[in-house]
Amino acid sequence: MTSLFNSPDLNNALDWLGTQHGAMLELVQDLCNQNSGTFHAQGVAAVVDRLLDEFKGAGKYPPLGDWVEQQPTPAAEILNDQGHIDAFPLGPTLRAEARPNVAHQVFLCIHTDTVYDLAHPFQKCQFLTNGHLNGPGVIDAKGGLVVLLFALRAFERTSLASRLGWKVVLNPDEEIGSLGSHSILKSVAQQCRFGLLFEPVMPDGAMVSSRKGSGNFTLVCRGKSAHAGRNFAAGRNAIVHLARCVTELDALNHTVPGDSTVNIGRLHGGGAVNVVPDFAMARINVRGVDPEQIDRIMGHIRDVVARFSRDADYQLNLTGQITSPPKVLDAASRLIQERIEVTGRHLGVPIHWRPSGGASDGNKLSGWGIPNIDTLGPVGDHLHSPDEYLVVDSLVQRARLAAALLMSFATEPLGTQ
- Which residues in this chain contact Zn ion in the complex, by CB under 5 A? 140
Q: Which is nearer to Zn ion, 178 or 333 (CB)?
A: 178
> Of 214, 16, 55, which Cα lies nearest the Cα of 145?
55
Listed in sequence order, the residues at least 6 apart from 119 whose beta carbon sits closer than 8 Å to its beta carbon are none
The smaller minimum CB distance to Zn ion, of residues 138 and 405, is found at 138
Which residues 6+ apart lie within 8 Å of 382 measured at CB? 388, 389
3-class state of residue 370 by DSSP: coil
Closest to Zn ion by CB, 4 vs 115, is 115
Q: How far is the CB of 205 from Zn ion (least distance, A)?
A: 19
Whole-number minimum distance, CB 29 to Zn ion, in Å?
19
DSSP 162: G
CB of 140 to Zn ion, least distance (A): 4
- Encoded amino acid at 3, one letter: S
Q: Give dist(CA 405, CA 345) in Å, integer.
A: 12
Q: What radius of gyration, in Å, describes the C-alpha atoms of the chain?
A: 24
Asked whether the beta carbons of 73 and 90 are under 8 A apart, the reply is yes
Q: What is the DSSP letter of 377?
A: S
Chain-centroid distance, C-alpha 298: 23
Distance CA 90, CA 235 (A): 41
CB of 394 to Zn ion, least distance (A): 17
**Which strand (E) or helix (H) includes residue 225?**
none
Closer residue to Zn ion in complex, CB, 9/140:
140
**Closest residue to Zn ion in the complex (CB):** 140
Whole-number minimum distance, CB 305 to Zn ion, in Å?
30
Q: How many CB atoms lie within 10 A of CB 334?
A: 12
Least separation in angstroms between residue 138's CB and Zn ion is 12
**Beta carbon of residue 412, minimum distance to Zn ion (angstroms, whole number):** 33
Task: Using the minimum distance from each CB to Zn ion, give the nearer residue, 105 or 366.
Answer: 366
Query: Which one, 93 or 360, has the nearer CB to Zn ion?
Result: 360
Helix, strand, coil % over all residues of the chain, rounded to 5: 40, 25, 35
Residues contacting 8, CB < 8 A, separation 6+: none
Residue 353's beta-bridge partner residues? 207
Residue closer to Zn ion, measured from CB, 115 or 192: 115
| Least CB distance to Zn ion at residue 114 (A) | 7
Strands 105-111 and 194-197: parallel
Nearer to Zn ion, 140 or 156 (CB): 140
